[in-house]
Amino acid sequence: MNYPNGKKAAHSQISQSSYSNRGMSLEEDINLTNQYYLDAGRAVIHKKPTPVQIVKVDYPKRSAAVIKEAYFKQASTTDYNGLYRGKYIDFEAKETKNKTSFPLINIHDHQITHMEQVVKHGGICFLIMRFSSHNETYLLEAEKLFPYWYDKLKGGKQSIPYETIKEEGYIVPFQFHKRVDYLAIIDSLYF
């Protein structure tokens, strides 16, 4: 790698620079990845808009409307959905600073219900979770998430241990263009 001034970067600088953008949010990384997939003709997967009811709008001038008050119409389902190789894809993305576990408080009842429905109807459903403290992103199939969720509801653990996620999930390598190349994992699991 050469800097604009023509000097070569030392190997240690290169490895550090590959991690330099990891401070970006998981959502932004997934959005960039999805745009890459779309541009490359691989998949059509988008972030779902959050349904809101606008109540009050201020019009200081015609071209500059400002929303002053709005409410969520309903609880949203998961973050992303779309099509890949003729299959419906649906997933939730969560980021945690926790080093030892993924807190299940980050997931909601209505999301689990939605994920179960997707799985029941043959869709591919999963959770992408980033452990920002470890600079690691994992894909966990919805079917593997459900037992931990129902154990929590019965008074069990309120989180999934990091080591369990490492064992049951799939690490998603960080790449330049495909920052969160989750389709590589989907290919190995389903196709």
Where do runs of H (alpha helix) occur along 134-173? 142-153, 162-168
Report whether 79 belongs to an annotated binding site.
yes
Report whether 100 belongs to an annotated binding site.
no
48-122-127 Cα angle (round to 5): 50
Say how far apart CA 33 and CA 175 lie, in whole Å. 9
Residue 52, φ and ψ in degrees, nearest 5: -125, 150
Report whether 151 belongs to an annotated binding site.
no
Report whether 77 belongs to an annotated binding site.
yes
Q: Binding-site residues, please?
A: 77, 79, 92, 111
Q: Binding-site residues for Mg(2+), please?
A: 77, 79, 92, 111
